[in-house]
Amino acid sequence: LESTQQGVFAPEAGHGRKVFAVRFHPFDDNIFLTGGWDRCIKVWDVRADQVVRSINGPYICGEGIDIWEDSVLTASWVAHDSLQVWDFGSGQLMEVIPFPSDHHGEFLYVGRFCGSGDLIAAGGSGTNDLKIIDRTKREVVSSVEDEGKPIQALDVSRDGNQLVIGSTGNCVQIVTLT
């Protein structure tokens, strides 16, 4: 196994604050997205060694970026309207997915499309749980807690039926969607 450093992107071309998430496009290995504290998702093309598009608004503080077909999901660490879907091509906001929370706010760290993109998994420190949301019905179909600890890591299997969740409770959970 060899490792080569193909390129280091200059700070002036990228983000102005910490970067918390990177995600390759699932169908194009030349494209990847980054997001962080500067409230901007950057779309990079490795062939051009630069940012080719930006999506302004999402405040990413964890693994809060995902891509499904032509949709970009962002999970932001904000009190309200934290779960959003953007058009990959134009960078325009397509929809805000309701994320039920109490008076503490939403404050998401993670978000992923599941299965065929109709389900979304998201969690963070506002509700201290992971919610599985039906995107079409716009309702929570399931939730997973870890003793009231914030959810800070999430991955979804290729078929979208298994989730691995990490929290500040020092544990990892595997969840199977049925």
Q: What does the pLDDT read at residue 6? A: 52
The three-state (H, E, C) secondary structure of 108-134, written as one string: EEEEEEECCCCEEEEEECCCCEEEEEE
What is the arithmetic mean of pLDDT over 101-126? 93
State how far the Cα of 47 lies from the Cα of 84, in Å rounded to an integer.
28
Torsion of CA 133, 134, 138, 139, to 10 degrees: -60
Q: pLDDT per residue over 43-66, tens digit each?
A: 999 898 788 898 999 999 999 999
Residues in a beta bridge with 173: 165
CB 53 within 8 A of CB 59: no
| 55: its two tokens | 């999506």
Q: What does the pLDDT read at residue 3? A: 43
- Asked whether the predicted pLDDT for residue 4 surpasses 50, the reply is no
CB 143 within 8 A of CB 161: no
